Structure formats: structure tokens, C-alpha cells
Amino acid sequence: MTLIVTAATALAVALITGVFTILNSRKANKTALDVEDFKSAVLSDLERLRAKLAHEQIVNTTQWNAEFAAYQGLWKGLVAVRLQVANSLVKESELAVISAPDEIFSRGQVAARMEGLAKSLYAAIQHSVSVVNDNAPFYPSEIRKRANKIIDAATDIWKKQVEALFAYSKGQDLMQQSEFWATLAIAGEQAITEVDNVEELIRQRLASLKVIL
């Protein structure tokens, strides 16, 4: 009888041990599958992150290149306007101080010089208008606003030059009047000041840009 009980007990223990072994095995297999699923999900997320970062890098670099190229074109145009504005503010009396040729002061030469200045200024203005409008989406609106102020001031000078030339053709010499030069000086100062403002804004903008490497 004792042997039967012992055998039965041993069988029961063996069965219980087998059950626990099977359960543990299943649990281990499930855990292993969960780990693999987790690893797969992490790898998938990492791959998506890499793709996103690569896309952002391309977009960021493209934007940087486009904006930098826009600033180069804009600055070149505005510098040309500033040069022509500065030339337009020089009176014949000031040219005499730097020993300009005497023929520049002969009859008709003053008007001829003014006509040349007006043509050069107009060409610079037209180029800058094109540059500002073509590249407007690639830089902040404040820079465009300042650039347009430069163009407006330069245009005021050009209009006064044309007015003086028309008056000269009718026998009236506005270029000998102090009021004419005072008006040009006001517009010229505004244009030159705004060029300096645009330069500072561009420097600040470039300093703030971060390129993703």
C-alpha cells in the first residue's frame, strides 16, 4: 500500500512538474516573441526617424541655399542702387573741388551728365525691382519692406532728375537751384540709410539660421 501511495505521489509530482515545465516553456516562448516584436517595432521607428531626419536635412539645406542665393542677388542690386544714388547727389560745384575736367561745366554738359546719371539710376532701380520681387518668398518680409523703401527713395531721385531735364529742355535750369539738390539729398539719405538697415537685417538673419548636418 505504501508503495502504491509513493508511486502515485511520484506520478503526481511528475505530472505537476511537467505542467509547470510546459507553462514555463510557453511563457518563455511568448516572452521571446514579445522581445522580437519590440525589437522589430524599435527598428521600424528608428528607420522612420532616419528617413524623417534625412528629409528635414534636404529641406533645410535647400532652404538655406535658396535664401542665401536670394540675399546675394538682393545685396548686389541694392549696392548698385546706392552707388548711383551717391553719384546723383554730387553737384558740379563739388566736382570742381576734385578737379573734374572743365568741359563738364560747359553749356549742355551739366544736363548731359544729369541725363547719364538718370539712365544709370533707372537701370539700377529696374534691376533691383526685379531681384526683390523674384526672390521675395525666400527672405523675411521686413527685408523686402526695407528694400522697397530703398527703391522708392531712389525712384524719387530719378523723378526729380527727369523733371530737371524736362525743365532744362524748356529753358529752365532746376539744377542750379538749391531746392532741387536739397530734395535729392533727403531722398538720397533715406536710400543710403535703408541700405545699411538691410545689411544689418541680412546679417542677423544669416546668424540665426541653423543648418542640419
The alpha carbon dihedral of 161, 163, 164, 166 has a sign of positive
Instruction: Look at residue 195 and tell me whether its pLDDT is greater than 90.
Output: yes
The band of 98, judged by pLDDT with boundaries at 50, 70 and 90, is: very low
pLDDT of residue 61: 72
Least confident stretch, 30-39, 130-139, 145-154, 198-207: 30-39
Distance, C-alpha 26 to centroid of its chain: 62
Whether residue 156 contacts residue 98, with contact meaning beta carbons closer than 8 Å, is answered with no
CB count, 10 Å around CB of 139?
21
Q: Which amino acid is at 201?
A: L
Half-sphere exposure of 96 (CA within 13 A, CB side): 7
**Per the confidence metrics, is the pTM higher than 0.85?**
no
107 exposed, middle or buried (CB, 10 Å; 0-12, 13-18, 19+)?
A: exposed
- More reliable by pLDDT, 132 or 104: 132
The band of 155, judged by pLDDT with boundaries at 50, 70 and 90, is: very high
Question: pLDDT tens digits for 103-130?
Answer: 445 556 778 888 899 999 999 999 999 9
- More reliable by pLDDT, 47 or 15: 47
The band of 96, judged by pLDDT with boundaries at 50, 70 and 90, is: very low
Q: Where are the alpha helices (DSSP H) in the chain?
A: 2-88, 92-97, 109-135, 141-169, 178-208
What domains can you pick out in the chain, each with its CATH number?
A: 61-208 (1.20.120)
What mean pLDDT is predicted for residues 15-19?
55
Whether residue 175 contacts residue 110, with contact meaning beta carbons closer than 8 Å, is answered with yes
Residues 6+ apart with CB under 8 A from 140: 201, 205
> Which of 7-11, 65-69, 115-119 is predicted most confidently?
115-119
